[in-house]
Structures are given as C-alpha cells and as structure tokens.
Amino acid sequence: MGKTVVEKVLARAAGLPAVSAGDVVEPRVDVAMSHENAALVINQFLEIYEGTGVTAHPWDVSKIAIIFDHRVPAESPKTASNQKKIREFVDAHRISRFHDIRGDVGGICHQILPEYGYVRPGQVVVGTDSHTTSHGALGAFSFGIGATEMASVWTLGVALNVEVPPTIKIVVNGEFGPHVGPKDLILHVVGKLTAQGANFRVLEFHGETIRKMSTSGRLAVCNMSVEAGATSGIVPADEETIRYLREEAGVTDPIEPVVPDADAVYESVVTIDVGALEPQIACPHTVDNVKPISEVAGVRVHQVVIGSCTNGRIDDLEAAANIIRGKKVAQGTRMLVFPASGRVFQEALDRGYVSDFMKAGAVVMNAGCGPCLGVHEGALGDNEVAVSTTNRNFKGRMGNPKSEVYLCSPAVAAASAVAGVLADPRKGN
Amino acid sequence: MGKVAFVVGDDVSTDVIYPGRYMATVLPTETPQFAFANDPALNTKLNAKLVPPGSVLVGGKNFGCGSSREQAVSCLKGWELTIVASDISRIFLQNAINLGLNIITAPGVEAAEGDEVVVEGAKVVNRTTGKSWDVVPLPPARQAIIDAGGLIAFTRKRMLEARKKG
C-alpha cells in the first residue's frame, strides 16, 4: 500500500519499516524550536528532573533552536527577564542555534529556520508555536506543540505517542492572475475546508501551481495550514526545495527528498484551479470567514500591517513596494512594515524597498512578530480596522477586542494603505 | 463535574482564552487571573471566586483553536474548570492532557448557564434538560499520559527507565 509523505517521514523517524494513518509512534525529533516561550519550557524541563538526582541536560543541544521574535526588543521588564533567563540557559548548555535580538541574524523563528538551513526534507520538526506548520514547505513533517511537550522532547529526544495523521491531498492547478498569489490560495483553502476542517490531519500540496511556486510562497501556504486545523502542511520536496536550500540557505550536505507514492492513500482529495481566483480576504473574527475582495472592498482602514511569519519575506515586501512606490499612504491610515528577518531587512534596504515605504509614509520596524499577536506594538484603538498580511484575525488578536482585523496578501495591503480603504490591487489607485 | 458556569460559542481561540499580552506570565500559579481577560463578564466572575471548582465551561466547535500557548490551558486548570466542547483543536487538547485539565469532546453538546452537566458512562448528560451526547474518546495514544498523571510525571518515569537501561 502506498504511503503519504507524513507516513514515510514518521516511519523513518520511528525506526519502523512502514506506518499508516492511525498508528501510534515515537518519532525521533530532528529540530526542536522555541521562541520566548522557552522560558516556560525551561521551567517544565527542570521540573521533570526535580528530585530525581539526575542533572538536567537536553538530549542533543545541536537539535535545539531558540529564536527571539515575539517581543523584540523587550516591551516590559518581565519579558526582558524571561529573555535573560533563556540566554543564561543557552550559555550554560551551549545551544548554538540561538538567534538573539540582532539586526544581522535575528528574525522570526519561521523565517530563521529555513533561512539558516536548519530544516531539511524528511525531518521531524517540532516547535512551541502553532505556525510551525510552515516548515512543511521544505518537505518536513513539522508541527506545533505546547511548552511541556517541548520539555519532554528536550529530555527524551522523541515526540511521545504521536498518532500518524491521515492526509488530505490538495491539488492546485492553473496560473495566478495579476496580484493574486500564495496567500490568496491558502485563504481560499482555509475558507473551503473551514477552521476545523483539517483538525488532526495533514494537508499535502500538489499540482502545477505548487510546483512552480517559490519556497517563500510555499512557506506562506504551509504556515496558514494550521488555520484549517492541520497538524502540518507539507509540500513534497522537489527541485525548488533543493535550489532554495543550496542557493539561499547555503546547505552543502546531502539532501534527500521524501515524496509520496503514486498509490498513497489519502483521506480525501481537494482540487483547486487558481486561474479565476480573486484576491481573498479573511474577514473578522475567524480566519475561515473568507470572501473575495469584490465583496468587501471599500471598508475604511486605520492601520495596514505588512510582515509576519506568513508574509514578511523579500518577495512579499517586493509586491508591496511595487504598488506603493511613488505614492502616499492615505491620510488617516498608518502603515507598518515588519521584515521577517535581519537578512530580509538588509535585502529590502539594498533593493530600495525600505526607501519606497518610508517615502510613502510607512513606518518600517525591526524584524519580528510585530503587532500580529497584540503583545508588543502597533495596537489598535477602539472600533479601528486593520488590514494585515498576518495569519489570525480572532477577536482581540491584535490586542484590542473592540477592533477588527482583515487578513490579505501584501498586494491588497499595500493597495489598501494608498486608498485608505480595503482595495483591489488589480484596479490601480 | 457540576454546574455550567460559562457557555461560549464556536471557534473560541487561545487569544480569547488567554490574550497575547499576558504571555510573558508563564507560571501556572499566576496565569488564572488572566483567563478570558478581554471578556470582563467572564474574567470578573472568575476573579471574584464566584465559580466553584468543578464547574463546567461548555464550548462549541473548534474550542482552543490558534496559538499553542500553554497558558490557555493552565489558566483554566487553575480555576479547576472542566471543559466540554463539540470539538477541540489539536494542540489545545494535547496541552490539556499534558497538564491534566479535565476536557471532554461531545459533539453537539448544548447547555445553558446553571445547567447540571455530568458524565455517565460514555455520555455527557445535561441533567437539567435531560439531553445527552456521546463522548468522543481521547486519542488512545494519550491515555498513558493521563494515567501517569500528566506529561511531566510520564516523561520523568521514561527518563529514569532509560537511564536504568543505560
């Protein structure tokens, strides 16, 4: 019987000849990623060892990655103290994959992991962040876990009692129209499947549109697979994956793509043609409340946010810069740009995008999660509306339960900043 | 289990259960005060200690969706609530099992505040309305963790066993 990608990855990681959906396995973990919530992971990790007389030391520090991104630079003494505690742990245990608050190697965890070649096809990746689904873009099985579960991984090196998830095959064909792209595709998928439609399942992406898509686009697609409830999104590794890892991430060691068998067993198959797809908007207050731009254009916008682990990469900034260049952010609207990493920021500087944004009146902030989760900066006033390239629009997500968030592509966000209302980038300004 | 203290709708996210701005607070002893912090009615009722331990929170579809933040579980556990919902998002369910929050999936479950809700065999029963719903068993893979008293205890045992084997 043929196998899906996740079945093949978990069989290898569990040291078994084959596994099928529903089997329970203990896969070895290849990458264990945390951000500021490593502060809680450390607490739980030490508690596991408490009273045992055994010295607490992680199973393999070369597989742990810690990246500060949620609150950078620290917004409060409490956060600063958490970050300090993590630094001390990192030093004590010599964790080398540590990305502190820096302009050169800092950034959002879901950008740093691919950028530095930490993730490879066929790996098992866990992260204490729900958007860890992102790394399936490189052909890994990558899923979010809680802090206590991460403490368990740090102790044992395996993810305990993982049920092999069934897979939904998503086949995407057709060519995107102008100003339509990966973000519109994944918003459409989430709307179609609903917010819990893929709960406990993997989405495996296929079709000519995916094959032609850059790794950056695939990261956006896999990133938001969790918004349909998916354990992981996966794009089977191909030539583009190898190109990205070699040319952009500087990987020199062997890369072994894991691809599904032709007769792999899928729970269901969903086919999508993007040829006629309009820019898609997730309307307040659920990510599956998705409508085409034509139904919601004209909504007054107070704040535009471009960035995040979903859409803060260089091609996202390029799409926005191409629209806003030589224009102005509308009066009464503010636009905030957050590159996904220091490297992306540097490239945006080199290519002149930062200048394009600033001349238009946008504020370009340091790399990090920014206002996405409402903890740090870019708060919204009562009854204000944000249009954002981020991934969640839950009530209060950006910090104020009396505000509204519409999710969209970088092109829609930039066009909306110029228009001061939710706008269709295909119509010009 | 006992009286229903709260009825919340579908798609209640961890941003609603435990807003992001309190995420720098990590200690399970300190998180309960911020449960449903953006909802003054719910949060005030909890902090005024008007909700006795063992009270039930009834959720709809996709309860606990969104962020993996474990505080969303520890804050509810701190008040010793039992969660009954139509379906529960994967990471939230696993965090609940790992930390020992009582959580039950019962598709279609309906209740109003003040109703008496109990588990009888494989059913959730609303004693006030007389209706009942089938309980979806937890993922079998997770039962060992519950039996061990949570993931910390389970992992500790496994770690010590592995050391004995050398």
Distance from CA of B18 to the nearest CA of A (A): 10
Alpha-carbon distance of B125 to B56, in angstroms, equals: 12
Question: Across the interface, do B19 and A374 touch by the CB < 8 Å criterion?
Answer: yes
- Domains of chain A and CATH, by start: 5-272 (3.30.499.10), 280-427 (3.30.499.10)
Q: Rounded mean pLDDT of A236-254?
A: 97
Q: Are B132 and B123 in contact (CB under 8 A)?
A: yes
- CB-CB: which of B89, B139, B156 is closest to A48? B156
Distance from CA of A162 to the nearest CA of B (A): 7
How many other CB atoms are found less than 10 A from the CB of residue A8? Answer: 21
* pLDDT of A404 over the 60 cut: yes
* Element containing residue A116 per DSSP (H, E): none
B103–chain A Cβ distance below 8 A for any pair: no
Diameter of chain B by CA atoms?
A: 57
Alpha-carbon distance of A353 to A314, in angstroms, equals: 9
Q: Are A203 and A166 in contact (CB under 8 A)?
A: no
Positions of E strands within A190-313: 202-206, 232-234, 268-273, 280-282, 290-292, 303-307
- List pLDDT tens digits, range A166-224: 999 999 999 999 999 999 999 999 999 999 999 999 999 999 999 999 999 999 999 99
Higher pLDDT, B143 or A7: A7
Integer-rounded Cα radius of gyration of chain B: 16
pLDDT of residue A1: 84
The reply to whether the predicted model has a pTM over 0.95 is yes
Alpha-carbon distance of B56 to B51, in angstroms, equals: 9
- List pLDDT tens digits, range B48-101: 999 999 999 999 999 999 999 999 999 999 999 999 999 999 999 999 999 999
User: For chain B, which residues make up each domain, given as ranges?
Assistant: 4-136
Q: Would strands A64-67 and A97-99 be described as parallel, antiparallel, or unpaired?
A: parallel
pLDDT of residue B141: 74
pLDDT of residue A7: 98
Higher pLDDT, A407 or B142: A407
- List pLDDT tens digits, range A276-286: 999 999 999 99
Q: Which CATH class is domain B4-136?
A: alpha beta
- CB-CB: which of B87, B91, B163 is closest to A196? B87
Q: Are B24 and B77 in contact (CB under 8 A)?
A: no
pLDDT of residue B126: 98
Q: Which of A25, A29, A44, A310 to mutate to test the interface with B (most CBs of B within 10 A)?
A: A44
- List pLDDT tens digits, range A296-308: 999 999 999 999 9
pLDDT of residue B67: 96
Which residue is closest to B155 within chain A, CA to CA?
A: A152
Q: Which positions in chain A touch B90 (Cβ < 8 Å)? A: 199-200, 229, 231
Distance from CA of B96 to the nearest CA of A (A): 10
What is the Cβ-side half-sphere exposure of residue A421, based on CA atoms within 13 angstroms? 9
B138–chain A Cβ distance below 8 A for any pair: no
* pLDDT of A429 over the 70 cut: no
Q: Which of B13, B75, B87, B142 to mutate to test the interface with A (most CBs of A within 10 A)?
A: B13
Alpha-carbon distance of A263 to A266, in angstroms, equals: 9
DSSP A132: G
Alpha-carbon distance of A356 to A334, in angstroms, equals: 15
Which stretch of A239-248, A403-412, B137-146 has the lowest confidence by average pLDDT?
Answer: B137-146
Question: Across the interface, do B23 and A70 touch by the CB < 8 Å criterion?
Answer: yes
pLDDT of residue A164: 96
* pLDDT of A16 over the 80 cut: yes
Positions of E strands within A274-361: 280-282, 290-292, 303-307, 334-338
* pLDDT of A356 over the 80 cut: yes
Q: Rounded mean pLDDT of A234-245?
A: 98
Tokens encoding A237: 């590794």
pLDDT of residue B139: 75
Q: Which positions in chain B touch A152 (Cβ < 8 Å)? A: 151-152, 154-155
pLDDT of residue A10: 98
pLDDT > 90: what percent of chain A? 99
pLDDT of residue B144: 85
Which stretch of A199-203, A246-250, A348-352, B142-146 has the lowest confidence by average pLDDT?
Answer: B142-146
Q: How confident is the model at residue B140 (pLDDT cuts 50, 70, 90)?
A: confident
B89–chain A Cβ distance below 8 A for any pair: yes
- List pLDDT tens digits, range A360-389: 999 999 999 999 999 889 999 999 999 999
- List pLDDT tens digits, range A84-136: 999 999 999 999 999 999 999 999 999 999 999 999 999 999 999 999 999 99
Q: Give the C-alpha distances (Å, rounded to integers) separating A426 from A294, A330, A423.
A: 11, 18, 9
pLDDT of residue A418: 98
Q: Say which residues have a Cβ less than 8 Å from residue B121's Cβ, sequence separation at least 6.
A: none
Question: Across the interface, do B94 and A149 touch by the CB < 8 Å criterion?
Answer: yes
Interface A-B: count of C-beta contacts within 8 A: 153
Q: Are A146 and B131 in contact (CB under 8 A)?
A: no
- Beta bridge partners, A162, equal A25
pLDDT of residue B143: 83
Residue B50's Cβ-count burial label (10 Å; 0-12, 13-18, 19+) is exposed
